[in-house]
Amino acid sequence: MEETVLITGGTGFIGRNLIPLLQKDNYKIIVLSRTPSKYQDDFYFKHVQLVGDLAEVKDANIVINLAGANLSAKRWTDKYKQEIVNSRLNLTNNLIDWMSNLEHKPHTLISGSAIGYYGPRGNETLDEDSTSGNASEFQVRLCSQWEDAAYRAEGLGVRVCCIRTGVVLGDEGALQQMLLPFKLGLGGKLGSGNQYFSWIHILDHVRAVQHLIDNDSLTGPFNLTAPTPVTNETLTKTLGKVLRRPTFMTVPGFALKLVMGEMAHILLTGQRVLPHKLEESGFKFNYPELEQALNQILK
């Protein structure tokens, strides 16, 4: 029997790559969007049901919750931080309330989170058994609250997986923002360059989500990061090598803080996150090495 997948945030970078993968497995896709009419004629959503309200969705077997205001779209003012929190918590809580009123509940919820859960921890190796970071850090509070909201669904008999995502590399997102200075030969390390950068190729990310759907014994948090995090200096040199550009610049920490404010602290401290649970469950990365991943994206 054909199963239905409801995706929130399905019009974003990850959703656009996930939908074709799920369609190959013959899932019926419903995408919840604040502006469904905007995507009505979009090629990506040709065979997708677009809805603007949860009330329009009468049934779904699987829910994938990816929606949320972009963390790096603006400086983290108090107002924007509240928008980031509300965009995640309100929707997740609305999803649980909607599920509770359904006669036939979804069997699976895969809900977004991020490696920000662990806080900036320097060179400490982190996996799913590591504790959350210091609650004074915005990203730690955000991810903890977001996951707590998702786990409410367990009380309805729904299997819940929270995906703690690293920096997703692909034809949109963080990598594209980094490219211009590197292409101009102005790329360089941030601060000392010793801080770790935990990343994942977009195609491995969506395959990992598919893997979590397919294996119904898997529950709880999963780090969606490649098994080989690299230092910022290695990232800088590898990107320069792939683009065949020099990388002799250094962006001083104080300059980054001036430009980015609170967000700079995370970039300068870094996180060394490993996908232990994902690998233990049998998942194989197609792009485990950074140079290989960058070559595929930038070829």
Please measure the distance between the N-terminal and C-terminal CA atoms of the chain and give it in whole angstroms: 40
Residue 116: both structure tokens together: 């920000």
What's the pLDDT at 263? 78
What's the pLDDT at 221? 98
In this structure, how many other beta carbons lie within 10 angstroms of the beta carbon of residue 124? Answer: 13
CB 286 within 8 A of CB 210: no
Q: Can you list the domains of the chain with their CATH numbers?
A: 4-172+198-227+273-286 (3.40.50.720)
Query: Residue 56: phi, psi to the nearest 5?
Result: -75, -15
> What residues contact residue 31 under an 8 Å CB cut-off, 6+ apart?
6, 7, 8, 10, 11, 15, 19, 39, 45, 48, 49, 50, 51
Between CA 223 and CA 165 the distance in angstroms is 6
**How does pLDDT run along the chain (299 residues), one tens digit per residue?**
689 999 999 999 999 999 999 999 999 999 999 888 888 888 878 899 999 999 999 999 999 999 888 887 788 888 999 999 999 999 999 999 999 999 999 999 999 999 999 999 989 999 999 999 888 899 999 999 999 999 999 999 999 999 999 999 999 988 988 898 899 888 899 999 999 999 999 999 999 999 999 999 999 999 999 999 999 999 999 999 999 999 988 888 877 787 778 877 778 889 999 999 999 999 999 999 999 999 999 98
**Burial (CB count <10 Å: 0-12, 13-18, 19+), residue 4:** middle
CB 218 within 8 A of CB 279: no
Query: Residue 275: phi, psi to the nearest 5?
Result: -90, 55
Between CA 127 and CA 253 the distance in angstroms is 27
Rg (CA), the chain: 19
pTM (predicted TM-score): 0.95
What's the pLDDT at 43? 80
CB 121 within 8 A of CB 133: yes
Q: Closest Cα partner for 269 from 144, 118, 112?
A: 118
What's the pLDDT at 158? 98
What's the pLDDT at 257? 81
Contacts 24+ apart (CB under 8 A), 288-293: 288/226, 288/227, 288/228, 289/226, 289/228, 290/199, 290/226, 290/228, 290/230, 290/234, 290/235, 290/238, 291/238, 291/241, 291/242, 293/169, 293/199, 293/201, 293/226
